[in-house]
């Protein structure tokens, strides 16, 4: 009897990867905002007549509380007054050069890799949603009316969390749900030439409902907090 033919050798298939765009755009945005934090005090009196003259100097973003508040840092009294846009703007501000450097470095290290895997729309959605939720949590935990907060750390931790869910779910129900809702859903298909390839079956319509619902809950919670103050 003849022996069965040998099985064809196994070979890996490349994942469908995307060219990063938003990682670099976000790096430019936070860099430009920090530059604005630094130079704006020199012209602050021309913009805001009551701006304290003692703060009209180059600040490197770390010592000028007035400029940070002017540009959108989290401030409990102002958010309670209805300025919920600060949840978004505070994601692009940084309090000092060291703060900026470490966040920019982390965004570059994790962002480029994850945007290649997640794609532009999914990556930006995760980044902004994580930043908004982190800003809201920071607002709830500000120790006093004088305290402020800012930074992209929460948005970056969201990207790191999605990376952890992507590479290692660990059997946790929450990780499995996160992966089901937001992460790529790969499938092996054939090209028109009969060659196997990997595609992402998830579409924008299949996962966008989750972040939309989360943002809705965030803003409802914000206005309930303002109403109950």
**Structural domain contains residue 40:** yes
What pLDDT score does 198 carry? 66
**Structural domain contains residue 15:** no
Owner of token pair 């401030």 = 75
Task: Residue 220: give the domain boundaries.
Answer: 22-228
Average pLDDT, the chain: 76
**Structural domain contains residue 9:** no
What pLDDT score does 97 carry? 86
What pLDDT score does 36 carry? 87
**Structural domain contains residue 7:** no
What pLDDT score does 147 carry? 87
pLDDT tens readout for residues 13-37: 666 678 999 999 999 999 999 988 8
What pLDDT score does 56 carry? 46
What pLDDT score does 171 carry? 43
**Structural domain contains residue 52:** yes
**Structural domain contains residue 115:** yes
Angle at the Cα of 140 (from 123 to 145), degrees rounded to 5?
Answer: 125
DSSP alpha helix (H) spans, 119-183? 120-140, 153-167, 173-182
**Structural domain contains residue 51:** yes
Nearest residue to 177 (alpha-carbon basis) of 155, 151, 154, 210: 210
What is the C-alpha separation between 96 and 61, in angstroms, rounded? Answer: 5
**Structural domain contains residue 120:** yes
In order along the chain (229 residues), what is the average pLDDT of each group of 10 residues? 65 73 96 88 62 50 74 90 91 90 94 89 87 88 88 90 69 53 62 65 58 59 55
Work out the angle between the directed axes of helices 22-39 and 120-140 (0-180°, nearest 10): 40
> What CATH number did the domain enclosing 178 receive?
1.20.1540
Beta strands (DSSP E) in 45-125 are 74-75
The total of structural domains in the chain comes to 1
- Let me know: does 199 contact 14? Beta carbons within 8 Å: no
What pLDDT score does 95 carry? 87
Rg (CA), the chain: 23
Per-residue tokens: 146: 């004088």
Task: Go through 85-103 and write b for each residue having 16 or more CB atoms within 10 A of its CB, e for each that does not.
Answer: ebbebbbbbbbeeebbeeb
């Amino acid at each position: 009897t003849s022996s069965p033919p040998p099985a064809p050798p196994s070979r890996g298939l490349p994942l469908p990867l995307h060219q990063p765009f938003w990682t670099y755009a976000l790096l430019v945005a936070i860099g430009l905002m920090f530059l604005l934090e630094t130079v704006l005090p020199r012209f602050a009196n021309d913009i805001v007549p009551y701006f304290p003259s003692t703060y009209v100097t180059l600040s490197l973003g770390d010592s000028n509380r007035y400029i940070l508040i002017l540009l959108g840092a989290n401030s409990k009294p102002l958010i309670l007054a209805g300025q919920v846009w600060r949840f978004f703007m505070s994601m692009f501000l940084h309090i000092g050069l060291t703060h900026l450097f470490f966040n920019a470095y982390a965004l570059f290290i994790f962002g480029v890799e994850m945007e290649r895997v997640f794609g532009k729309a999914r990556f930006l959605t995760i980044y902004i949603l994580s930043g908004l939720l982190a800003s809201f949590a920071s607002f709830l935990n500000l120790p006093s009316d004088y305290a402020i907060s800012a930074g992209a750390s929460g948005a970056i931790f969201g990207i790191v969390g999605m990376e952890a869910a992507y590479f290692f779910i660990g059997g946790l129900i929450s990780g499995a749900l996160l992966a089901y809702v937001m992460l790529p859903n790969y499938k092996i298909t054939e090209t028109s030439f009969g060659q196997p390839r990997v595609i992402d079956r998830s579409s924008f319509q299949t996962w966008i409902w989750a972040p939309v619902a989360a943002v809705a809950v965030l803003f409802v919670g914000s206005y309930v907090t303002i109403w109950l103050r």
